Amino acid sequence: MKKAIYLALLFCFISFTTYAQEASGRIEVTGHSAAEELPKELVINIPLVVIDSTYLSCSNELNVLLSNLKKDLESKGIERKDLSTGSYAISENFEYRQGERKRMGFKGQVTLTLRKRYDPEIVDDFLQVAKNFSLQYTIRFMLTEEQKEKLSRAAMVQAVDDAKRKAEILAEASGVRLGSISKITYGESQGRPGPLMEVVRMSADGSSTDSNGLKLYPSEISVHQSVNMIWNISN
């Protein structure tokens, strides 16, 4: 019985030692890369707010403002299919006066969104309309789904190349040879996620309120990827 237990323990020790040796005969590296491109999609959000004393007049005024704004944009060549509305609401408008909360009428709100392929002429036309209507607005430059897919694929390929280059350098410096790849783990780079859009907020007079100083034209946006790869090595 004792002999059987001894043999079992010896077998476990030999197995563990062999596993440790195999596990140590590896090189693990992480490849990083980024692919950049100018975003092709333009998104402009225009919040409209109307305050009036009665619910009906507030509703009518908001609808007229929205309708007139759409007509003005369409007169500039912007198609109706590129315009959408959201967050339509009419609520009681309260103010605090002398420590008391008093209803001062009604507030109507709606957001008009313009989404279209970026073109400097479209931005210029919109700015003219924004000035006429004294609009507040937010402009975003975004990657299209096609751009995201293309850049993500390119970044992944480059990340693998980066991992291979690092592994080859390490192997040469260590005097070992790279064998087969035992594991590949893929994921977006956690340290450098990379934004997929740029945002600039503007007031009616055209002055930027964004602390980053972004302009009314797009700059390159990066998609970052990382790949973790493990190679078996031999002397």
Domains in the chain: boundaries: 41-143
Q: Which fold has domain 41-143?
A: Alpha-Beta Plaits (3.30.70)
User: pLDDT by residue (tens digit) across 40-85?
Assistant: 999 999 999 999 999 999 999 999 999 999 999 999 999 999 999 9
- Rounded to whole angstroms, the Cα distance separating 28 from 163 reads 9
Percent of the chain's residues with pLDDT above 70? 77
pLDDT score of 8: 45
CA distance 230 to 183: 5
> What is the band of 215 on the pLDDT scale with cuts at 50, 70, 90?
low
Q: Which residues contact 46 (CB under 8 A, 6 or more apart)?
A: 69, 111, 112, 113, 114, 130, 135, 136, 137
Q: What is the pTM of this model?
A: 0.69
**Of the ranges 116-120, 193-197, 198-202, 216-220, which is most confident?**
116-120
Nearest to 45 by CA among 120, 134, 136: 136
Which is higher by pLDDT, 200 or 47? 47
Position 190 pLDDT exceeds 50 = no
pLDDT at 216: 77
How far apart are the C-alpha atoms of 121 and 123, rounded to whole Å?
Answer: 5
For residue range 152-188, list pLDDT tens digits in order: 999 999 999 999 999 999 999 999 999 999 999 986 5
In sequence order, which residues have a C-beta less than 8 Å from that of residue 181 and are 6 or more positions away? 229, 230, 231, 232
Q: Are 231 and 180 in contact (CB under 8 A)?
A: yes
Per the structure block, which two tokens stand in for 2?
């004792």
